[in-house]
Amino acid sequence: MIILDTMPLVNIILGILLLFLILPNRKGYIQNKLSKSLLIIIIFFNTHSQLDSFLYNNKYFNMEWYDISYLYYHLYGFLIFLFTQHMFKSEKKYRPITLIMIIYTIARIILYIVTYDVVDMSDIEDGYMPYVIDIGFALFINTLFLTLAYIKIKKVKFAVELSNIDKVNYIWLKRLIVISIVIYIAIIQNDIILAYRWDNLVLHTKIESTIQGTFFIAMSYFAIRFPLFSLYGDFKDDTHIKKDKYASSTLKPDISDKLWNDIQHAVKEDKGYMNPEYRLNDLAKSVDRSLHNVSQVINERTGKSFSDFINKYRVEYAKELLLDDNNRNFTILAIAYEVGFNSKTSFYNSFKKETGVTPTQFKKDNTKTH
């Protein structure tokens, strides 16, 4: 019991340390400002929730700001889901879902205000059933969004072969999300049981808060260390540049020009972009230069990451196939696979990003002109 009573305090300290690790670090792994802000909110919420748990464990029920974490308990999964979408530069917009979550949050706040004066929060049995239903639904929402976040992370395609350390970080991030999903499902089942048996509520609440807080701390840590450079092959995202003496030095203009010509020749002539598994490692090997040099030149000449650079070639080839009369019987998905995309969604997103229209609309518009 002593461990359960003090663990929230340990998680509070770890949460504060993580915040100090992220906030002042402008050259860290997370370059996307929105992703960084979302992760800060997640860590802050978890730290504050652990503070509430510590107060609960020590029976400080009379403090005015006690149990405020109850109001945003349903937002953990949603925030992690949004974090993964922005981290992976998803083209989809989630404003409708965000609006629904805002309305739901307001509804829970109103419910809390209305019932707080009616129900004695220190009394376990007094009006506990409405909270079981509310928390159960919040747990379900968290579980749903965490599952969607895991699907997104699992399907991610890396532009650079992962180092051993990056592989470990990536694997553990996936594992922790899966474990969190399992934990939430277990908590849902546990709360159903507690709805009819209140005698073990205090012990179960302590166990739940300790496990949940610990796993969110661990998940946040591995999210901070997510290998962004391996994801996009973007020189701006490479936090290991200082460790590579070749990458840290500025390329001379003549060397940069030659490397840029070699890169274009390798991509155009070899048509490596048609391979869905084509990576920066493959291109760097073709031109016999370091990953960092190749990524740097692509970024400086085009303003694009390696992934976007390669996708541009795929889109250009797709445009040719879409307008070729010999490909009339080809589906959009078939063309997407033919040019090197591994899914219809990524093809549509990249095509619209390059042309401003969908493949279907592009074919329709250009067919009219011929």
- Range with lowest mean pLDDT among 33-47, 171-185, 201-215, 218-232: 201-215
Average pLDDT over residues 242-254: 57
Q: What is the pLDDT of residues 333-351, one digit of tens each?
A: 899 999 998 888 888 888 9
Phi-psi region of 146 (alpha: psi -120 to 50; beta: other; left: phi over 0): alpha
Q: What pLDDT is stored for residue 312 in this prediction?
A: 93
Q: How far apart are CA 289 and CA 261, in angstroms?
A: 13
Are 218 and 176 in contact, with CB atoms under 8 Å apart? yes
Averaging pLDDT over each range in 7-21, 118-132, 211-225, 307-321, which range is the top one? 307-321
Q: What pLDDT is stored for residue 196 in this prediction?
A: 64
**pLDDT level of residue 331 (50, 70, 90 thresholds):** confident
Q: What pLDDT is stored for residue 31 in this prediction?
A: 61
The mean of the pLDDT values for the chain is 81
pLDDT at 91 over 60: no
Average pLDDT over residues 138-152: 91
pLDDT at 245 over 70: no
Q: What is the pLDDT of residues 149-175, one digit of tens each?
A: 999 888 888 888 888 888 888 888 888
Average pLDDT over residues 107-129: 63
Average pLDDT over residues 181-198: 76
Q: What is the pLDDT of residues 42-88, one digit of tens each?
A: 999 999 888 888 887 776 655 556 578 888 889 999 999 998 888 77
Phi/psi at 155 (nearest 5 deg)?
-85, 0
Residues recorded for the chain: 370
Q: What pLDDT is stored for residue 122 in this prediction?
A: 46
Structure token pair of residue 120: 């004695």
Q: What pLDDT is stored for residue 309 in this prediction?
A: 92
Q: What pLDDT is stored for residue 152 in this prediction?
A: 86
pLDDT at 189 over 90: no
Residue with the larger pLDDT of the pair 285 and 61? 285
Percentage of residues of the chain with pLDDT beyond 90: 17
Q: For the chain, give the secondary structure using H, E and C.
A: CHHHHHHHHHHHHHHHHHHHHHCCCCCCCCCCHHHHHHHHHHHHHHHHHHHHHHHHHCCCCCCCCCCHHHHHHHHHHHHHHHHHHHHCCCCCCCHHHHHHHHHHHHHHHHHHHHHHCCCCCCCCCCCHHHHHHHHHHHHHHHHHHHHHHHHHHHCCCCCCCCCHHHHHHHHHHHHHHHHHHHHHHHHHHHHHHHCCCCCCHHHHHHHHHHHHHHHHHHHHHHHHCCCHHHHHCCHHHCCCHHHCHHHHCCCCHHHHHHHHHHHHHHHHHHCHHHCCCCCHHHHHHHHCCCHHHHHHHHHHHHCCCHHHHHHHHHHHHHHHHHHCHHHCCCCHHHHHHHHCCCCHHHHHHHHHHHHCCCHHHHHHHHHHHC
- All domains of the chain in start order, with CATH: 2-232 (1.20.1070), 243-369 (1.10.10.60)
pLDDT at 127 over 60: no
Q: What pLDDT is stored for residue 246 in this prediction?
A: 41
Q: What pLDDT is stored for residue 62 in this prediction?
A: 59
